[in-house]
A and B are shown apart, each in its own frame.
Chain A
Amino acid sequence: MTDTSVAAPPERAEAAKPAATREKPPGRAGWFARSALLVLCVLWLIPTIGVLVSSFRAEDLVKTTGWWTALASPLDAAQWTLQNYGDVLLAEGMANSFINSLVVAIPATIIPILMAAFAAYAFAWMDFPGRYVFFVLIVGLLVVPLQVAFIPLLQLYGDLGISRANPFLGVWLAHAGFGMPLAVYILRNYMGSLSREIIESARVDGAGHMGIFWRLIIPLSTPALAAYAIFQFLWVWNDLLVALVFLGGGENSVLTYQLSQLVGTRKTEWHLLTSGAFLTMIVPLIVFFSLQRYFVRGLTAGAVKG
């Protein structure tokens, strides 16, 4: 789970050229460092492992015995089952919700990034009245809790007819709006740290702002864009609240909504919850591991003092 309020530090970096990283010293961790990290990793993993183990156990076992008892006799095949995964996957509307989650998450990630990139460029490299005030306003809005927006936006969408015409549009815009301050903040910091000479020379060559933005700034900012994309994607994919309020159930419902319904009308279906939790994790994990290197590099180069 992530939040839109993550932010990068504003330090200026010598950029355009990749930040100089120091040589990695070959594993010189002492016993203290090793054991401390081992303990932390175990602590961090155990809760998740418990759920992973539970997700392969039969319903009545999950409800009556601790998951660790299964590990005492791991070869006893009778206690393992794929039934829970089957139940979740075959539940009515799951495939549909999977598509809906993608329909929500992809534009809701890309729209705010593009808008924020344009704005960040202007804040970093254009001169105009109100530049300072507007940027401060956006940064200040980082702290507004998004819950305040639900009622006024529902009314606004109702008046404009968005909730009837295309509810997905409403969700994209809402996520884009809520994620905008952080996106502008991260990207402006990054773009502001790009070398002035490169941009000046492009200008001398006769390029307009639009040209500089597309041909120079966007390619140079890939790491920061990717970094923000991960945060925003994780947030949107895992969001239940915004989807519940603006999309609700039925044909438009997303995965997190379906999962929350699986819990049953009034009872705690542990066996379904556990397998469902793992199924919804798959896409975010793929995104995380495939973009991981951009992610670290992006924040490193743009956000951290060199």
Chain B
Amino acid sequence: MRSRRPVRLTVVLSAMSLLSAACLGPGGGEGGGENVVTVLGTWTDAEAKAFEESVKPFEEETGVDVKYEGSRNFTELVVARVQGGNPPDISTPAQPGLLSDLVQQDAALPLSESVDVQALQDSLIPGLIESGQVDGEAYGLPMKLAVKSALWYPVPEFEEAGYQVPETYPELVDLQRQIARDGETPWCIGAESAESTGWPITDWIEEYVLRLHGPEVYDQWISHELPFNSPEIKAAFEEFGKVVNTKGNVAGGARGVLATNFGDSPQGLFEDPPNCYLERQANFITGFYPEDVQGDLDSNVGATYFPSGIQGGYQGDPVLVAGEYALLMTDNPDAKQLMKFLAQDSYGQSWAETGGYLSPHQGFDTSVYPDDVTRSLQEIAAEADVARFDGSDAMPGPVGSGSFWTESVAWLSGDQDLDTTLKKIDESWPE
């Protein structure tokens, strides 16, 4: 035991461990160094490839390497990276609530550091920049749009049955009754989404708040000036309750809604004969359609505006949108260049061609979209009187991705009455 050999061995080994640390280092996903910009995002598989393709022109022009990492666990990863002092240069949160949390942890730089905010604002669909603000300062760069107020229906079966595409809310109610009279099930609704179960319910509630009370009440609601347990919000819940709980409106009633994965729910539109004829869901739902339908969207499915004009409600045409923001997280000059690139109104053309992409810019060339369905989605956004960002995404985490989901599920499943539900959601709002 007295030999000195082990000591010498230690020296060798610690040298080796330094060496190996250096070898494995570049895999560490750290903020980019020279000529590298790291991007952490939510898109995986085909969408990840489409994003990488969309920044190719930037890479060729500047010689900067954009390293993209996409994960289903985006939220956990970005929180972990920030806490570990190891943030990506740019992240792409889809929730203003998460964006604001990151800003409050001093993990993000204002948009004015990288782009001309005023010019951007003029080019974008109104309301998007505002949702990416924290305390009046813009942080999020809208780079991909999702239109939530879309009503989907199977085109051939609709024609066969002689159903008219509804243009006003009363027409939608009549259509729903007509389908039920024909002995069919009108609605496909799925609210199951593993640990995020309940978010589709919150989309419905937001649609009804906009259609019943208009944008001003909506803004007060999502900023908590108007409490959850106010009569206005309660009315929106009740309106959705009517859709689900009217006998025969949805397969399996509320239990069916809560047990059906939102991605599986549109399968019913394409059964022969269809299990259901109507679905209200965001544009990304087409990615869950059966492959043969995806191959030929235009002749299988139609998308129209989820109609407004509820009697006694708001009489304009509001649209509910969502989407991903690019958020600058480090002071890397190359990353700022990339932000500028992403802010161009022509950004995303190659992505749009492959489908599944909607531009947040008003002046985007719609002819590059691959099908009429996509173009009609863009029209829904463009023709609306007023656009509002998905409210649950904009609320603070404990509500927007917490109690609003879970308490709504508890209400819909019949485990708890509506007043208790609204009171509990309201109490969970952080001061």
Q: Do A and B bind each other?
A: yes
- Shortest CB–CB separation between residue A170 and chain B, in angstroms? 9
Q: Pick the residue among B21, B45, B80, B263 that contacts A248 (CB under 8 A).
A: B80
Question: What CA separation (Å) do A157 and B30 show in the bound complex?
Answer: 13
Task: Determine if A158 is an interface residue (Cβ-Cβ < 8 Å).
Answer: yes
Question: What CA separation (Å) do A248 and B84 show in the bound complex?
Answer: 12
* Stretch of B65-73, B134-142, B154-162, B248-256 on the interface side: B65-73
Q: Pick the residue among A159, A250, A268 that contacts B27 (CB under 8 A).
A: A250
Flag if A166 contacts B193 (CB, 8 Å): no
Task: Determine if A266 is an interface residue (Cβ-Cβ < 8 Å).
Answer: yes
Question: What CA separation (Å) do A12 and B69 show in the bound complex?
Answer: 53
Flag if B25 contacts A165 (CB, 8 Å): yes
Question: What CA separation (Å) do A168 and B262 show in the bound complex?
Answer: 37
Flag if A158 contacts B85 (CB, 8 Å): yes
Identify the closest chain A residue to B193 (Cβ).
A266
Task: Determine if B416 is an interface residue (Cβ-Cβ < 8 Å).
Answer: no
Could you say which of B29, B69, B262 has the most chain A C-beta atoms within 10 Å of its C-beta? B29
Question: What CA separation (Å) do A4 and B430 show in the bound complex?
Answer: 35
Residues on A with C-beta less than 8 A from B28 are: 163-167, 252
Residues on B with C-beta less than 8 A from A266 are: 193, 262-263, 288
Question: What CA separation (Å) do A159 and B84 show in the bound complex?
Answer: 8
Interface residues on B, range: 20 to 34
Task: Determine if B1 is an interface residue (Cβ-Cβ < 8 Å).
Answer: yes
Task: Determine if A79 is an interface residue (Cβ-Cβ < 8 Å).
Answer: no
Flag if B83 contacts A158 (CB, 8 Å): yes
Q: A155-B83, A158-B83, A163-B28 are in contact. Are A208 and B193 (CB under 8 A)?
A: no
Flag if B83 contacts A154 (CB, 8 Å): yes
Task: Determine if A265 is an interface residue (Cβ-Cβ < 8 Å).
Answer: yes
Question: What CA separation (Å) do A197 and B80 show in the bound complex?
Answer: 52
Residues on A with C-beta less than 8 A from B193 are: 266
Flag if B72 contacts A248 (CB, 8 Å): no
Flag if A252 contacts B29 (CB, 8 Å): yes
Q: A248-B71, A267-B288 are in contact. Are A159 and B85 (CB under 8 A)?
A: yes
Task: Determine if A211 is an interface residue (Cβ-Cβ < 8 Å).
Answer: yes
Per-position binary interface string of chain A over residues 231-252, scored 1 when its CB falls under 8 Å from any chain B CB and 0 otherwise: 0000000000000111011111
Residues on B with C-beta less than 8 A from A246 are: 80
Residues on A with C-beta less than 8 A from B80 are: 150, 154, 244-246, 248
- Shortest CB–CB separation between residue B62 and chain A, in angstroms? 23
Task: Determine if B337 is an interface residue (Cβ-Cβ < 8 Å).
Answer: no
Question: What CA separation (Å) do A157 and B28 show in the bound complex?
Answer: 13
Per-position binary interface string of chain A over residues 44-87, scored 1 when its CB falls under 8 Å from any chain B CB and 0 otherwise: 00000000000000000001000000000000000000000000
Q: A166-B25, A169-B21 are in contact. Are A250 and B263 (CB under 8 A)?
A: no
Task: Determine if A218 is an interface residue (Cβ-Cβ < 8 Å).
Answer: no
Question: What CA separation (Å) do A211 and B81 show in the bound complex?
Answer: 45
Flag if B261 contacts A265 (CB, 8 Å): no
Per-position binary interface string of chain A over residues 143-179, scored 1 when its CB falls under 8 Å from any chain B CB and 0 otherwise: 0000000110011011100011111110000000000
Per-position binary interface string of chain B over residues 31-54, scored 1 when its CB falls under 8 Å from any chain A CB and 0 otherwise: 000000000001111010000000
Query: Footprint of A on B, CB under 8 Å?
Result: 1, 20-22, 24-25, 27-30, 42-45, 47, 69-73, 76-77, 80-81, 83-86, 193, 261-264, 288
Query: Footprint of B on A, CB under 8 Å?
Result: 63, 150-151, 154-155, 157-159, 163-169, 208, 210-211, 244-246, 248-252, 260-261, 263-268
| A–B pairs, 29, beta carbons within 8 Å | A63-B264, A150-B80, A154-B80, A154-B83, A155-B83, A165-B21, A165-B22, A165-B28, A166-B20, A167-B24, A167-B27, A167-B28, A168-B24, A211-B1, A244-B80, A245-B76, A248-B81, A249-B69, A249-B77, A250-B27, A251-B29, A252-B29, A261-B72, A264-B44, A265-B45, A265-B47, A266-B263, A267-B263, A267-B288
Q: Which 10 A-B pairs have the closest CB atoms?
A: A158-B85, A251-B27, A267-B263, A166-B21, A154-B83, A154-B84, A158-B84, A163-B84, A249-B71, A163-B86
